[in-house]
């Protein structure tokens, strides 16, 4: 092994940072190759005249930076994908991330798409402020996409936002005031819980059955004062339920009968190969329809297309967006538009769908002894743990292995005495072998063999 650490002692600053800098330079220059084994920490400490804790600290920082990875007693090695940062499961806060296919389809689409968009260099209008509701080009393409899904839409009723959460915040802020009530499923997307708390809104838990929200509960919610109905109609987070067509019609009818506006958070709506008709296709004048790309392509894009019930409503929403976020990121919004036009959008969604199906098959093999719900083309699970196992124990045992697992109580409207549920996301950058090991660990804990 070549002495990549030569000269560490002469570098300025703390020695542990000097080690990290030398490692980084050696990897970037090719002196250290992917997969190459590093010297044991004690040996390196002796070679450079440092104490063991200094080298341990340096290796830890290099690991966090994605330069190297540890393999237990085998030692530490240069990562194969050294330019890719490692996923930090602890930092995701329970957010679902779409699975990343093994191919470089998305990075390549990003590279090609951005290169095309930036050909105008410094003169590009995409490097300037955009209208708060989105550029006319982006809104027209979004309107065409909505129309293709049986939601006839004019660009005047479309607003481009910086992701689905930004859209949800703006919709609530422009339609409700402090103390107002929203009806939703008893287990609901945490983003709604956070916004309700921030805006001092009340939540009414609706009854559910095997088909999702029970329309009969809308009357009780209306009597309690609910003004809006929040629905994730396809592959609900966390329960994975998808509303059948008739259930969607019944919900729309009940909402109209009792004067409730619908927020249709259709984050996963395009993930199924045969998407159901949105509620906005059934009751377009009642629905705020949110179609974001975070769950079907990548959360890094921060783009959502919102179909408002009317042009006037869209104008109000755009004004709120301007006051809170100014605009959606122009380059990203334009990139999504270009993908919609040239077919790349459908290709990218299909790749995520295929990877989700593959991971669902893997989960079915490893979790056969557990009870859980899942959408066949989705990538999260709603798992019912045996009564003797606390969600906290399952989380503590599997999250260090890279599994995205969240206590079901996180999603509950109000406090639950004791939840036996956990939501597992099969997405993110975790590969199949690591996912299999984590799922096996979950089964061992759940069955008392861990």
- pTM of the complete model: 0.81
Q: What pLDDT, on the 0 to 100 scale, is given for residue 78?
A: 87
Lowest mean pLDDT among 30-34, 43-47, 62-66, 108-112: 62-66
> Between 422 and 419, whose confidence is greater?
422
**How sure is the predictor about 81, in pLDDT bands with cuts at 50, 70 and 90?**
low
Per-residue model confidence (pLDDT) at position 2: 54
- The DSSP output letter for 288 is E
Using CB atoms within 10 A of its CB, is residue 114 exposed (0-12), middle (13-18) or buried (19+)?
A: middle
Q: How far, in Å, CA of 378 to CA of 360, rounded?
A: 8
| Those residues with Cβ within 8 angstroms of residue 45's Cβ, 6 or more apart along the chain or in another chain | 51, 52, 54, 55
pLDDT per position as a tens digit, 50-66? 999 999 988 887 887 67
pLDDT, tens digit, for every residue of 99-146? 987 667 888 899 899 988 888 656 678 888 888 899 999 999 999 999
More confident residue, 78 or 92: 78
Which residues make beta-bridge pairs with 229? Answer: 183, 262
Distances (CA, A) of 277 to 1, 43, 189, 244, 354: 61, 64, 21, 9, 21
Within the chain, what is the greatest distance between any pair of CA atoms? Answer: 78
Residue with tokens 């689905």: 164
Q: Which of 82, 103, 72, 3 lies closest to 35 in space, CA to CA?
A: 82
Distance CA 166, CA 367 (A): 35
pLDDT score, position 91: 41
The model's pLDDT over 162-202, given as tens digits with 9 standing for 90+, comes to 999 999 999 999 999 999 999 999 999 999 999 999 999 99
- In this prediction, residue 57 carries a pLDDT of 87
Residue 448: per-residue pLDDT = 80
Mean pLDDT across 28-41: 85
CA 92, 98, 104, 110: dihedral to nearest 10 degrees? -80
Q: How far apart are CA 67 and CA 33, in angstroms?
A: 11
Give the pLDDT confidence of 340-377 residue by residue, as tens digits: 999 999 999 999 999 999 999 999 999 999 999 999 99
Q: Which domains does the chain have, with CATH numbers?
A: 8-78 (1.10.10.10), 89-101+347-446 (3.90.1150.10), 106-345 (3.40.640.10)
Lowest mean pLDDT among 18-22, 25-29, 192-196, 222-226: 25-29
């Amino acid at each position: 092994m070549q002495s990549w650490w030569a000269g560490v002692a002469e570098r300025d600053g703390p020695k542990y940072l000097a080690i990290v800098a030398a490692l980084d330079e050696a990897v970037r220059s090719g002196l250290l190759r992917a997969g190459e084994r590093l010297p044991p920490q004690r040996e390196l400490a002796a070679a450079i005249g440092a104490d063991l804790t200094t080298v341990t600290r340096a290796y830890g920082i290099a690991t966090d930076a994605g330069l190297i990875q540890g393999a237990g007693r085998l030692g530490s090695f240069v990562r194969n994908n050294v330019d890719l940062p490692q996923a930090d499961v602890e930092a995701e806060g329970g957010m679902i991330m779409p699975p990343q296919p093994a191919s470089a389809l998305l990075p390549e689409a990003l590279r090609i798409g951005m290169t095309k968009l930036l050909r105008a260099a410094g003169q590009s209008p995409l490097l300037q402020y955009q209208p708060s509701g989105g550029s006319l080009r982006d809104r027209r393409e979004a309107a065409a996409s909505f129309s293709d899904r049986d939601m006839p839409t004019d660009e005047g009723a479309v607003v481009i936002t910086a992701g689905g959460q930004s859209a949800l915040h703006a919709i609530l802020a422009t339609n409700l005031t402090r103390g107002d009530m929203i009806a939703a499923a008893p287990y609901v997307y945490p983003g709604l819980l956070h916004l309700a708390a921030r805006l001092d809104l009340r939540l009414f838990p609706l009854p559910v059955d095997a088909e999702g929200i029970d329309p009969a509960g809308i009357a009780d919610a209306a009597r309690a004062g609910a003004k809006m109905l929040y629905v994730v109609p396809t592959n609900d987070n966390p329960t994975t339920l998808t509303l059948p067509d008739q259930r969607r019609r019944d919900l729309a009818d009940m909402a109209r009968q009792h004067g409730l506006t619908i927020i249709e958070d259709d984050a996963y709506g395009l993930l199924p190969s045969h998407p159901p008709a949105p509620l906005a296709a059934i009751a377009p004048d009642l629905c705020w329809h949110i179609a974001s790309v975070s769950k079907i392509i990548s959360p890094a894009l921060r783009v959502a297309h919102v179909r408002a019930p009317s042009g006037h409503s869209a104008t109000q929403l755009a004004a709120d967006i301007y006051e809170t976020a100014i605009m959606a990121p122009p380059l990203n919004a334009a990139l999504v538009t270009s993908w919609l036009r040239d077919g790349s959008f459908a290709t990218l969604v299909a790749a995520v769908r295929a990877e989700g199906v593959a991971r669902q098959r893997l989960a079915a093999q490893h979790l056969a002894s557990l009870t859980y719900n899942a959408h066949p083309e989705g990538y999260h699970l709603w798992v019912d743990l045996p009564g003797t196992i606390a969600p906290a124990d399952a989380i503590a045992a599997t999250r260090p292995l890279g599994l995205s697992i969240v206590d079901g109580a996180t999603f509950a409207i109000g406090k639950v005495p004791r939840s036996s549920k956990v939501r597992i996301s099969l997405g993110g950058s975790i590969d199949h072998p690591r996912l299999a090991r984590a799922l096996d660990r979950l089964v061992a804990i759940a069955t008392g063999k861990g």
